[in-house]
Amino acid sequence: MNATKRREIFLRLAAANPHPTTELEYTTPFELLVAVMLSAQATDISVNAATRQLYPVANTPEAILELGEEKLREYIQRIGLYKTKAKHVMQTCRILLEQHNGQVPKMREALEALPGVGRKTANVILNTAFGEPTIAVDTHIFRLANRIGLAPGKTVLEVEKKLLKVIPKEFLHDAHHWLILHGRYICRARQPKCAECIIYDLCEYKNKVN
């Protein structure tokens, strides 16, 4: 895919959704961090349902530690892998208090050092909470980047590096959200909604199925 096509893709996505953001509900970087940790192998809908109950009770590292792991499990028990996630959240809260004055760190290395936080989660926090021009490649973005020819790659890291290289700089801050929403609702894994796609004429996938 050439640069002209790539630019046009993001011009259209930007026109359709000028201010994209995550569908996870949060008001602070810490709330976002916990929500993203809970969202692994779970839907944003299920996470939001849990945090709507949890955050009015405990939405800081101190409050969650005071709540305790057993009680935390009760709030998130409908989310997949909730026992492991509860353990990681508790460990993360302790580290935030002991090493970062209770604040979510803005450095990748510090974020990835937190239990249950990998590169993808760190990228979401850096981009959404702190405005860094990063791309968190999840299953939707990985599929989309390969399918339409935007940034083909065999691994998540390869796709991430390619996206950062080929996406025009003025679109980098919001590209993560545009791509994830397009992959989630239009360019779906099964039965992509090509008839509703605003970038269909720019997509290389159509040439494979037509």
For the annotated catalytic residues, the residue numbers are 120, 138
Cβ atoms of 149 and 203 closer than 8 Å: yes
Q: How far apart are CA 180 and CA 38, in angstroms?
A: 17
Q: Which of 8, 37, 43 is nearest to 180 (CA)?
A: 43
Q: How far apart are CA 22 and CA 62, in angstroms?
A: 25
Kindly tell me the sign of the dihedral angle through the C-alpha atoms of 107, 85, 27, 63: negative
Q: What radius of gyration do the chain's Cα atoms show?
A: 18
Dump the DSSP string for 138-202: -HHHHHHHHHTTSS--SSHHHHHHHHHHHS-GGGHHHHHHHHHHHHHHTS-SSS--GGG-TTGGG
